[in-house]
Structure 1
Amino acid sequence: MAVARLIGEIPQWILSTPTVQPLTNLILVRYRRAKHWNPKWKELRKAKVLKVNLPNFHEKKEDVSPYKMRQKMMENGLKPTRHWAERQMHISCTGTIIEPYVPPEGDGKLSVVTSAGAMQKIEYIGKKSKSMMSVRKIRSFDEDFKTSEFGDVAQDIYTKAHHYLAERNMEKLREYVTERCFPEMRNNILGKTVNWKFLNSLEPPRVVYARCCEVFTKENVFAQVTVRFHTQQQLAIYDRFGRLMHGSEILAKDVLEYVVFEKHLSNVYGIWRLHDKLIPDWMPAKEPTAKTFVKVEEQSADAAEGDTDLVSVQKSRQPLKESDQPKETA
């Protein structure tokens, strides 16, 4: 149509002359350039298109030999499949206490001068030889470990773990307790509000027990250290209604505890974490939790007599049953 319009605009006298015949054969062609007008980003435009080698979907798995299948997987950077199924397993802590330490009865109350206190000291020295062997094994993995300095490190871990527990900061709590201890501590505060405060230490914390164990292989070694704490603390626990269940925010109590700390020695990035607390058999039972109930108001004697008269009147107004009605005589 554009050509016809162009021809229509040409005067007739020009078309009639024989010398202007090439104008009647005019063909207009629109050319499209394949190159972009700005070649600056040519490489980036080229990187937008990725050539992917698609697999042959019509090829059957039975027709491919194992050697060829393995070769194809190596070309694609894939590991060859195995005929057994393996599941990864990571053991970050032990599930129990290795040879739990038995705290002596009356600890914190008996003096060394007394006969019972002297017997406790002798028993402690007798158990110390096995602990020294375990401490030597710990030093073979951690050269900076010292029993004289570990008490302060353990107290810092102990206070931070209980502080984050009271604040319900579970992300920070995982850094200071093991995977075995975490669910036990978390479940004990469900539906409760905990106010805990560490006041001071009555005695410096000291290491009383140390044990090492091998899990599955000789290279996978775990260490557990039992630390004695004698401190002053404040604890108040409230239920979900805000009523006091245990303790007090005013009174401070002396607390004697034996806490077990654990470390994965074979792990280069292993750290000491709180693992468990020792509760001896001779320890007395805990005080029961104080529970609250609705108070029932006692009624006076006059009010009680009035209630009984009202009940008798209501009973007299009720219709008689068939058995209670008088029978008619013939």
Structure 2
Amino acid sequence: MSLRLANLTTIRLLQDNLPPLLVPQLRERHTKHWDPKWKSLRRQKVMKVDLPNFREKPEDLTEEQVRAKLKEHGILPPRPWVEKPFFISSTGGIFEPYVPPEGDGKISPIHMQGAKQKLQFLEKKSKTMMAIRKIRMFEEDFDTTAFCKEAENIYVKMHELMAKKDWDNITDYVTERAYPEVIHNVENKTIHWKLIKNIELPRVVHARCTDVITKENVFGQTTVRFHTQQMLAVYDRFGRLMHGSEIIAKDVLEYIVFEKHLANVYGKWRIQGKIIPDWLPPKEPSATTYLKPAEETPPALPAEVPPPEEKEISKESNP
């Protein structure tokens, strides 16, 4: 030990007297650098991390302890959030529905009742014009003639998608309110539908606007009158005809309500529902066919043996 200390003393004396380039390297340990100026840098290489206690449960902590831990990590305490965000893309029904005149499509305007219907239509036209004016506040290029062509395309596309049972794309043409009514009772059925021609050009007969929750959230509804000739045939899952025919075309008069979220920049016109007047007679249900079971004949009963005839014995013959 004394020899080693002497050698260390001699080397340190040489370090003080020799120039820096000639100073011999002295290493006390192989894990440390010989130059002490790197000590602080080695200390900065290591970061002390406070690991959380993973065995600690929030249920076991008091309210004050939870608040202290949140404050330690710089997290604001949670607040009770009662409000729920929701998006209203369509209204829940038809506001101020149009009342179709009785006998529409059959009574001529020359007839007395037809002239009365025309007069009532002109009386209600003022509210419709005010609603159309409000629609033009959101759509500057809104025109009833051009809209009728767009409505006819939406009407045809909706029926084609319904016949194909394309439920993913049909929501682009019907609202969320009308969607359940469109897909009702369509499962396990084959539908053939075709629009043949227009008997009368479609026209806007009714228009209304309303606001939901706020004054700026405006919805618009327009009722379009369709008088067309269509072909409809509905088959069940066994291929039996339930309703309509693919050969016979029928005249159809319908009042379809279209709705648009006017306040939404990306809103578009979609089918909201169909107006069915009270004076319309109820439709007959579709014919449902069943397999007629084979008649089973009851088995023949065995022939009954007649009882033996009893012979009457007179009292006189007795001995």
Q: Does TM, scored on the shorter chain, surpass 0.5?
A: yes
Question: Equivalent residue for 1:144?
Answer: 141
**2:83 aligned with 1:86, yes or no?**
yes
Question: Equivalent residue for 1:192?
Answer: 189
Encode CA deviations 1:218-241: one digit per residue, 9 max, x unaligned: 111111100000011100001111
Matched residues in 2 for 1:209 and 1:294: separation?
48
Q: Are the structure 2 counterparts of residues 183 and 66 from structure 1 closer, same or farther at C-alpha, using a change threshold of 3 Å?
A: farther
- Post-superposition offset of 1:296: 6.6
Q: Are the structure 2 counterparts of residues 154 and 54 from structure 1 closer, same or farther at C-alpha, using a change threshold of 3 Å?
A: farther
TM alignment of 1:1-330, pairs within 5 A = 56-57=52-53, 62-63=64-65, 69=71, 72-73=74-75, 81-295=78-292, 310-313=300-303
Matched residues in 2 for 1:135 and 1:111: separation?
28
Matched residues in 1 for 2:138 and 2:215: separation?
13
Q: Are the structure 2 counterparts of residues 112 and 66 from structure 1 closer, same or farther at C-alpha, using a change threshold of 3 Å?
A: farther
Identity level (%): 52
Matched residues in 1 for 2:210 and 2:148: separation?
22
- Post-superposition offset of 1:146: 1.1
Q: Quick check: 200-209 or 285-294, which moved more?
A: 285-294
Q: Are the structure 2 counterparts of residues 81 and 266 from structure 1 closer, same or farther at C-alpha, using a change threshold of 3 Å?
A: farther
Does the residue aligned with 2:124 lie in a helix, a strand or coil? helix
- Post-superposition offset of 1:109: 0.8
Does the residue aligned with 1:150 lie in a helix, a strand or coil? helix
Encode CA deviations 1:102-153: one digit per residue, 9 max, x unaligned: 1001101111111111001000000000111111111111111111221111
- Post-superposition offset of 1:84: 3.1
Q: Are the structure 2 counterparts of residues 247 and 56 from structure 1 closer, same or farther at C-alpha, using a change threshold of 3 Å?
A: same
Q: Are the structure 2 counterparts of residues 120 and 71 from structure 1 closer, same or farther at C-alpha, using a change threshold of 3 Å?
A: farther
- Post-superposition offset of 1:171: 1.3
Matched residues in 2 for 1:142 and 1:66: separation?
56
Matched residues in 2 for 1:174 and 1:247: separation?
26
5+ long unaligned stretches in structure 2: 1-46, 306-319
Amino acid at match of 2:269: W
Q: Are the structure 2 counterparts of residues 165 and 69 from structure 1 closer, same or farther at C-alpha, using a change threshold of 3 Å?
A: farther
Q: Are the structure 2 counterparts of residues 134 and 294 from structure 1 closer, same or farther at C-alpha, using a change threshold of 3 Å?
A: same
Q: Are the structure 2 counterparts of residues 298 and 81 from structure 1 closer, same or farther at C-alpha, using a change threshold of 3 Å?
A: closer
5+ long unaligned stretches in structure 1: 1-50, 75-79, 318-330
Matched residues in 2 for 1:251 and 1:204: separation?
22
Question: Equivalent residue for 2:309?
Answer: none
Q: Are the structure 2 counterparts of residues 311 and 64 from structure 1 closer, same or farther at C-alpha, using a change threshold of 3 Å?
A: closer
Matched residues in 2 for 1:146 and 1:281: separation?
31
Q: Tell me the TM-score normalised to structure 2 length.
A: 0.72
Amino acid at match of 2:97: P
Amino acid at match of 1:106: G
Matched residues in 1 for 2:138 and 2:179: separation?
26
Matched residues in 2 for 1:93 and 1:70: separation?
47
Amino acid at match of 1:73: I
Matched residues in 2 for 1:219 and 1:274: separation?
22
- CA-based RMSD: 2.8
Question: Equivalent residue for 1:327?
Answer: none
Q: Are the structure 2 counterparts of residues 127 and 70 from structure 1 closer, same or farther at C-alpha, using a change threshold of 3 Å?
A: farther
Matched residues in 2 for 1:67 and 1:148: separation?
67
Q: Tell me the TM-score normalised to structure 1 length.
A: 0.70
Q: Are the structure 2 counterparts of residues 296 and 201 from structure 1 closer, same or farther at C-alpha, using a change threshold of 3 Å?
A: same
- Post-superposition offset of 1:291: 2.4
